[in-house]
Amino acid sequence: MSTIPSITLNDGRSIPQLGFGVWQVEDDQATTAVATAIEAGYRSIDTAAVYENEEGTGRAVAASGVPREELYVTTKLWNSGKVDWSGEQGRSRVERAFEESLTKLGLDHVDLYLIHWPRPMHGDSFLNIWTVFEKLAADGRALSVGVSNFGPEQLDKLRERSALVPVLNQVELHPHFPQHELRAYHAEHGIATEAWSPLGQGKDLLSEPALVKVAEKHGRTVAQVVLRWHLQSGIIAIPKSVTPARIRENLDVAGFELDAEDLAAIAGVETGKRLGPDPQHFDWN
């Protein structure tokens, strides 16, 4: 089993730096994929209410035979536009959504609970949501709390209004879109950076000639090189796959080190282009 390093979060808890994501994986398929991942050695699993696979994920966790305290389970609040998230009604909805996620996962707590989107075009409703997250953390039902797809403006508002700083911000991040400024902000304020789509969704990134050359140099796949880049950059990564061989391959990133020449080559593929929507100008209904 590959040894995966951990990142210590600002609340003193730690998270494996390489986890397993189940975005766009159907519920039944998630059971099989997560079971394969846990058997391979992954100990961090990332799901979300909107993925509609919390039940499948929970089945795999329950059947794994791995002690609960050795697994790190993340899920996310789907704060869509169909619900008014302001005021007491919004806070009640957060609590219900959290309980629904726990029930589907078959757990009495999660290790990390995230607000999925900032939705700045709807004002600062995330601040109201965060008051419930504070309570969930205090009660120990969510051991750590954080955010996803937030920018510095929203993070500033959270830090101004709450003593509880998000432990991490999960954002689109890969060598084509390395998020230099946001990562610098995170480092300044003690917020860990977690990458969704760390492999660029397997599109043009994995066929970049410069990355192919680095992979050949180390006798590794391009995906392994990119994941190694995340680890050496201090980023938490949650690659997704439903193919058993690739699930195991993505975990096998120990035993080699990218040198300065490699890192320069990887930096050279930056395009500044997102694969997903810009969270500051996009709203989910």
CB 195 within 8 A of CB 229: no
CA dihedral sign, ordered 202, 194, 50, 121? negative
CB 241 within 8 A of CB 187: no
C-alpha span between 132 and 88 (Å, rounded) = 10
CA dihedral 168, 171, 177, 180 (to 10 degrees): -30
168 phi and psi angles, rounded to 5 deg: -155, 165
| Burial group, residue 246, by CB count within 10 angstroms (0-12, 13-18, 19+) | middle
Catalytic residue numbers, as ranges: 51
Q: Which two tokens stand for residue 202?
A: 């397997």
Looking up tokens 């400024």 gives 181
Looking up tokens 């008051």 gives 131
Closest CA to 175 of 50, 268, 37: 268
**Could you give the C-alpha distances from 210 to 193, 213, 217, 225, 231, in angstroms and in order?**
25, 5, 11, 11, 19
